[in-house]
Structure 1
Amino acid sequence: MNKLIGSPKKKAKINEWLILAIIILALIPVTIDATILHIAIPSLTLSLGATGNEVIWIIDTYPLIMAGLLLPMGVLGDKIGHKKILIFGVSIFALASLFAGLSTQPLYLILSRALLALGGSMIMPVTLAIIRQTFPDQEKCGRALGIWAAVGTMGAAIGPLIGGILVEYYSWEAVFLINIPLLLIVIPLIWFGVPNGISDPKKPWIFKDACLLLIGVIVFVYALKSIFKENQSLYVSAIAGLFGFLLLRWFFKKQKNTDTAMIDISLLQNKQILFAMLLCFVPMAVIVGFEFLLAQELQFVHKFSPINAGLFMIPFAFSSALAGPLTGYLIGKIGFRKLIITVLFISSFSFFMLSTLNFSSLTIPVFGWLVVLGFSLGMILMAATNSIMATAPIDKAGTAGSMESIAYELGTGLGIAFFGIVLSQVFIRKFSISKDLLSEIGNKSYNSISDVLIIANNLDAAKQQEMKNAAMIAFQGAHNIVLIVAGSILGILALAIIFSGSKKTTKLNL
């Protein structure tokens, strides 16, 4: 039986928008942290001497560990109260930001990012749950979720710009340290301004089951990330993938066959929720993969400063955030299914067009297609978020918020990993230098442009320039192919929805 702590309805009539403002302040560092490192990667790589593989793990550790922890933390919030989890999460996130900013080796930064993920996994799902419980009116709740989605999308989208400003005027460490002052202000605001809300102390939360889910997600995703890597045994990747899959299967089987299940399996069996999670996962994967690789091309190839690279992405950032308010209106006019198919095709075509353009300057065609791409992808994410939260019962809002966030974080982590792997494989094949230079550098690994630049720094000026020119040409060609792949994925998803012939899974209750 649910236990009402405080008076959420009374609070909502007086302070509902203030509550929304407070939880959004808590959310901002979490969303920005998913992409803020994209611009800082070149400076960070050279400063720490990180390899291409270490860079991928520095980026991916955060979303992948979050993906494994989101569901347990959402359930824990439903059990002990979302306010408590939010305060714990913000405190851990602030401490982890300090550790990350003081890191002197790639390993320390990777571990700090893992701690950031722990804090982030507490913050993300409970902010959605608090919104659902604070706004009982469906129309107001839709507007609040729209603001949440807009801020979340905007945070991830403008992360590169903020990172560029901090790197240019301070250092890469500042991209983490900047979180601390904001979070120290947010903690007392949460304490005094956010109600406890609805919780169920009798809701089961078993630590070993939470660990089982976390390990299963990490191992399975590791297998997906490593299967196409150079010098990685296919057998090791296959065994890891099978082991991770079996752990996840064991977890969900236990949840289905026990009276003390942490999660309601009916939520995972709901076709509307699963479809909406897919519509969170795929666009988020292409968004972060696109931003990650574009940030590198702008700085490594076209010699943009960090801040100018961030400014280059502003059209994409703002258009993706502004898509939210229009989404509900268009769904009411043409229907959810038609809207999703249309914007998927538009975003697919945008990627194809961008693959034909030169990113050396922000020309009118580049600007235009960045706006169209951001707007169409942002609209998909907004519709999917509303669908998940509108479908779930109010007392399971934390769990539903976790499922939505899992889709986002898996998209973030796997998007960077997948597109990074595709880029690496094409880069290797396109990278071409003279035989004399090749014999001099020997069997050194150059799977990425950052690897090449680290090796080139130890050569004389002429050879260094040859290495850099070859790397720039290879990277630019590889990036264009990645854009085509991204467009193809979105186009295939749109065709799959068309030919599925199922309208039940795409009917929204908004």
Structure 2
Amino acid sequence: MTSQTNPKTPGPRSGAAAPAAAAHRWAVLAICCVAAALLGIDNSVLNYAVPSLARQLDPTSTQLLWIVDVYGFVLGGLLIVAGNLGDRIGRKKLLLIGVTGFGAASALTAYAGSPETLIAARALLGLAGATIMPSTLSLVRAAFTDPKERTTAIGISSGIAAASFALGPVVGGLLLDHFWWGSVFLINVPVMALVLVAGVLLLPESRNPNPGRLDWVSVPLSIAGMFGVIYAIKTAARDGVGAHSAWIAAAVGAASLLVFLRRQTRLADPLLELKLFRNPAFSGAIGANVVTMFASTTLSLGFSLYFQVVRGWSPLTAGLALLPGPLSAAFAAPLCAVLIPRIGRARTVASGLVLMAVSTAGLGMSDTHTGYWQLVPLLVLNGVGIIFTFSVTSDTILASAPRTRTGAAAAISETAMELGGALGIAILGSVLSAFYRSNLTLPGGLSGAQVDAARESVSGGVETGGRLGGTAGLQVADAARHAFVDSLHTTTLIAAAIMTLGAVAALVTLRNVPAVLPEQHEYGAGTGPSSEAPAGQASQSRPLPTA
């Protein structure tokens, strides 16, 4: 049982000031949500601009791959460093630096005149995104100290972040229908300018008052390790596990991470605080996030192809078709604050994973003529499951870390999700491709090049059929569509099984985590006043609930 201060002790604000303080907290949430949502949109919009920019800039195949991938490489490699930097220099300061950089890099990206400039601009976007991601979560965590309000706020933030990924195709489709490819990036500039002005005026500063020395040796080790691992996973997913560059990157990344982790155990002020993982609430929530991201990539990957290639819908129509899932996640987010006190955190996370498993299996049973309105309830169910999982795990991760380390905790959470998503695309994407090739039965009379193109992917199969024309072309295209649908059936069942196992694991790992998580001021403790205070203010003691 944690100790409590006197519940009758008056807080720092009372009477007429309370509504103003509450309004200010929700304004902080709104600013952070807008910044995080723009990152989500930007992360998914590029794929829809690639055909247009490829025609204008004429990049080589290698340059095109770097244009697509460099953002994720830099973002994933710098999250841990950026989260720690926010704890040290101030999370507001780091967010405002990142917002400014993101706006400038977006303008550079929009007007890039060569592939090399575009690659550099996308790398700068990844750098700025790495500073924004952990800062938004940790600022929300600092603003909402009441456990119930904090859970609601983080749930809303998670819901909007989930919805933003699906808005990318919609925003991209609308802009590309009327403007040039750079418009999908230029739209970031006024939004980030608005966030910058609002952030300067309204965001409170918070930081670790005693961060200790920054170990400069750990910084390059962390970057090299994360960059190498993410590069290896993405390269293996695209070029196969036999790709030499993937193995070299994996070796460099693994060796760097091993040295980095060993070094962290010996430092008084480590860059990555491994003590966080001693808390079962923290480690259990991180594990649930990895499983969720790993398995849920099947839908985002498979159904983008299903709607656009199998059904022949435009990118904008496909984006709109997927929108019910993320929108339901945004609207269902506040329900988590109601569910947690009634059934607990473990059961809420497990329920979310079960809902995702059921909806994933159901969506995977679609055929080439399934009516869209049959899919809508399953998409809604999937969105609700996602938010039941992510809002609770995000709140658990941030609440179970000391307030002085919320930036680092948020960075670990985001890094784990990046790795889970990359692994899901690499492994389940490979499974999907392997089943597609094994299920594909092509008619005779095709050349070797035509067979290879059709077997490469469902897009290649449909395009090969279109180029052939006539009866043979129709047979090739239909064979590709049916082979892909059959492979989607099997792959989504595998993903659903993984989610079900994740639900069982969540029940075990989070079973002793209380519904109400008090403020953490030491590792694994929730007693005493916080050692961290907003910049310029003294720390205030407040009543703490019993764990």
TM-score bracket, normalised by the shorter chain, equals: 0.7 to 0.9
> Partner of 2:511 in structure 1?
503
- How is 1:329-408 mapped onto 2 (pairs within 5 angstroms)? 329-358=338-367, 360=369, 362-408=371-417
Quote the residue 2:169 is aligned against: 160
Q: Secondary structure at the match of 2:104?
A: helix
Question: Which position in structure 2 is the counterpart of 1:196?
Answer: 205
Name 1:101's counterpart in structure 2.
110
Higher-helix-fraction structure: 1
Q: 1:203 to 1:464 in 2, by over 3 A?
A: farther
Give the drift of 1:372. 1.0
* Unaligned residue ranges in structure 2 (runs of 5+): 1-11, 519-547
Mapped to 2, the partners of 1:17 and 1:131 lie a distance apart of: 9
Distance 1:290 1:167, change over 3 A: farther
TM-score scaled by structure 2?
0.80
* Equivalent residue letter for 1:482: T
The Cα of 1:433 is off from its aligned counterpart by 3.6
Aligned to 1:3: none
State the partner residue of 1:248: 257
Residues 367 and 485 of structure 2 are in contact (CA less than 8 Å); yes or no, is this contact kept in structure 1?
no
Q: Which has the larger radius of gyration?
A: 2
**Matches of 2:225 and 2:136, distance apart in 1:** 25
Check conservation: 1:35, 1:292, Cα contact below 8 A: no
Q: 1:98 to 1:414 in 2, by over 3 A?
A: farther
Residue 391 of structure 1 aligns with an amino acid whose one-letter code is: S
Q: Secondary structure at the residue paired with 2:456?
A: coil
Number of aligned positions between the proteins: 501
Q: Is the 8 A contact 1:77 1:126 kept in 2?
A: yes
Question: Is the 8 Å Cα contact of residues 281 and 513 (structure 2) preserved in structure 1?
Answer: yes
Distance (Å, rounded) in 2 between the aligned partners of 1:219 and 1:115: 18
Counterpart among 81, 84, 96 of residue 87 in structure 1: 96
Q: What is the rounded CA distance, in whole Å, between the counterparts of 1:338 and 1:61 in structure 2?
A: 38
Contact persistence 1:35–1:288 (CA under 8 A): no
Residue 189 of structure 2, aligned match among 149, 169, 180: 180
For structure 1, which runs of at least 5 residues remain unmatched after alignment?
1-7
Residue of structure 1 equivalent to 2:503? 494
Q: Does the aligned pair in 1 maintain the 2:174–2:316 contact within 8 Å? A: yes
Question: Contact 1:46/1:454 (CA < 8 Å) preserved in 2?
Answer: no
Whether 1:484 and 2:493 are equivalent positions in the alignment is yes
Give SS of 1:125's match: helix
Bigger Cα displacement from structure 2, 153-162 vs 200-209? 200-209
Aligned residues of 1:60 and 1:416 also touching (Cα < 8 A): no
Return the offset for 1:275: 1.2
1:322–1:286 distance in 2 versus 1, CA, 3 Å: farther
Letter in 1 for 2:230: V
CA distance, structure 1, for counterparts of residue 371 and residue 56 of structure 2: 29
Cα distance in 2 for residues equivalent to 1:19 and 1:290: 32
Q: Show the counterpart of 2:419.
A: 410
Q: CA deviation at 1:506?
A: 8.0
- Residue 538 of structure 2 is matched in structure 1 by none
Q: CA deviation at 1:78?
A: 1.0
Matched, 1:120 2:150: no
Tell me which residue corresponds to 2:42: 33
Read off the aligned partner of 1:330 and give its amino acid letter. Answer: L
Shift of 1:85: 1.0
Q: What amino acid does structure 1 have at the position aligned with 2:446?
A: L
| CA shift for structure 1 position 385 | 0.6
CA displacement 1:149-206 (0-9 Å, x = unmatched): 1221221233333233233344544332221221122222222332333343753334
- Partner amino acid, structure 2, of 1:80: I
Range with greater deviation from structure 2 (142-151 or 381-390): 142-151
1:384-428: CA deviations, max 9, x gaps? 011011111112121122122222332333333333322332333
Counterparts of 1:507 and 1:320, CA distance in 2: 21
Q: CA deviation at 1:99?
A: 3.7
Distance 1:326 1:44, change over 3 A: farther
Aligned twin of 2:82 = 73
Name the SS for the 1:35 alignment partner. helix
Alpha-carbon distance between aligned partners in 2 of 1:437 and 1:287, rounded to the nearest angstrom: 36
- CA shift in 2, pair 1:469/1:162, >3 Å: same
Q: C-alpha displacement at 1:281, in angstroms?
A: 2.3
Distance 1:427 1:470 in 2: 10
TM-score by length of 1: 0.85
CA distance, structure 2, for counterparts of residue 469 and residue 87 of structure 1: 52
Asked if structure 1 preserves the Cα contact closer than 8 Å seen for 2:162 and 2:330, the reply is: yes
CA 236–18 in structure 1, closer or farther in 2 if over 3 Å, else same: closer
The one-letter code of the counterpart of 2:517 is N
Q: SS of the counterpart of 1:195?
A: coil
Cα pair distance change 1:264/1:51, threshold 3 Å: same
Code of the aligned partner of 1:36:
V
Q: Quick check: 1:135 aligned with 2:144? A: yes
Contact 2:397–2:409, Cα closer than 8 Å, also in 1: yes
Aligned partners of 1:166 and 1:175 also within 8 Å? yes
**Greater mean deviation of Cα atoms: 287-296 or 116-125:** 287-296
Amino acid of the residue matched to residue 149 of structure 1?
A: S
Code of the aligned partner of 1:509: L
Alpha carbons of structure 1 residues 446 and 49: separation in structure 2 relative to 1, 3 Å: farther
Opposite residue 424 of structure 1, the aligned amino acid is S
- SS of corresponding position for 1:71: helix
Identity %: 28
The AA in structure 2 aligned to 1:402 is A
Change (3 A) 1:397 1:286: same
Matched, 1:429 2:448: no
Q: Deviations over 1:47-81 (max 9, x none)?
A: 77889998776555434432221111111011111
